[in-house]
């Protein structure tokens, strides 16, 4: 259940609720890798799909990315404790995302 709430709050760009959700999930024993993959990365994948469909625009993507980053900052120490380093985190993030070159943009 916690995954769905975190997922929803990331897609809404609700940073405070993402932080609360991640902390609650960690406290209840959900593995940090599971929170990362099933909530944070999955939510950003959804945001990317909505962007491709024209339902989200760059501001919504940036707001969602900030919310994800807030949750990720809470996860990083727990991921490090489980042996996931920064390089692993980077690779895992992009392995699980559906990045399409057509959605790339330069700011």
Q: Tell me the C-alpha distance between 8 and 2, whole Å.
A: 10
Q: Which two three-digit tokens encode residue 20?
A: 């609360």
Delimit the domains of the chain by residue range. 2-98
- pLDDT attached to residue 80: 80
pLDDT digits (tens, 9 = 90+) for 38-95: 999 999 999 999 999 999 999 999 999 999 999 999 999 998 876 655 554 544 444 5
pTM of the model: 0.77
> What's the pLDDT score for residue 11?
97
DSSP letter (8 states) at residue 80: H
88 or 33: which carries more pLDDT confidence?
Answer: 33
Q: What is the DSSP letter of 31?
A: -
Contacts 24+ apart (CB under 8 A), 88-94: 89/36, 92/33, 92/36, 92/37, 92/41, 93/36, 93/41
Pick the CATH number of 2-98 from 1.10.1240.10, 3.30.70.1450, 1.10.10.10, 3.40.50.300: 1.10.1240.10
Q: What is the pLDDT of residue 2?
A: 80
pLDDT of residue 91: 46
């Amino acid at each position: 259940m916690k995954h769905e709430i975190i997922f929803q709050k990331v897609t809404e760009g609700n940073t405070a609720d993402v932080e609360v959700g991640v902390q609650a999930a960690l406290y209840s024993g959900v593995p940090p890798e599971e929170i990362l993959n099933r909530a944070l990365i999955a939510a950003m994948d959804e945001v990317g799909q909505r962007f491709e469909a024209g339902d989200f625009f760059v501001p919504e993507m940036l707001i969602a990315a900030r919310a994800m980053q807030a949750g990720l900052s809470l996860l990083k120490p727990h991921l490090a404790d489980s042996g996931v380093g920064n390089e692993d985190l980077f690779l895992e993030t992009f392995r699980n995302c559906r990045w399409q070159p057509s959605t790339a943009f330069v700011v």
